[in-house]
Amino acid sequence: MNQSTIFDITEKKKLEGIELVYAHADTEWKKEASLQLQKVIDNCEHFTSDHILIPLEKRGITTRDTRALSAILLAAKRLNLIEPTDNFVKCQRISRHHAPIMVWKVIKRRTI
């Protein structure tokens, strides 16, 4: 019998939360965030969520909870397009008060 640990349960709950936030995100924002991520992947070696969220905010494209971006990033990770690094930088969005955010690495660019 394979028994779940507290860590397994916590990870499952975290992923459920990410999916719930994504499910309630604005449809247009989800589409534009995915397109912005693809632009970043095509043009950068490393990036943060700021590279996606700041351009959207400048264009007036918002959603209630930007944590929905986690689902988009995790999907790209599952497709082996990006991977997290051990590096963090200060967030540039005022709403985050310079909190540390993860740096992601592009591992596979789209081929045309």
CATH code for position 93: 1.10.10
3-state DSSP call for residue 30? helix
Query: What dihedral angle (degrees, nearest 10) is formed by the CA atoms of 63, 76, 49, 99?
Result: 100
Give the global pTM: 0.85
Handedness of CA 59, 61, 65, 71 (dihedral sign): negative
Which tokens hold the place of 71? 């689902």
Q: Does 30 fall in a domain? A: yes
Within-domain flag for 77:
yes
1 occurs within a structural domain: no
Residue 110: predicted pLDDT: 60
**17 belongs to a structural domain:** yes
Neighbouring CB atoms inside 10 A of 75's CB total: 14
Give the highest mean pLDDT range of 6-10, 24-28, 31-35: 31-35
pLDDT tens figures, 53-109? 999 999 999 999 999 999 999 999 999 999 999 999 999 998 889 999 999 999 976
Look at residue 24 and tell me whether its pLDDT is greater than 80: yes
> Looking at the domain assignment, is residue 80 inside a domain?
yes
pLDDT at residue 112, as a whole number: 46
Which range of residues forms the domain containing residue 66?
A: 6-106
**Residue 42 placed within a domain:** yes
Q: How far apart are CA 105 and CA 57, in angstroms?
A: 23
CB 73 within 8 A of CB 105: no
Tell me whether residue 111 is in a domain: no
**How many domains would you assign to the chain?**
1
Residue 112 belongs to a domain: no
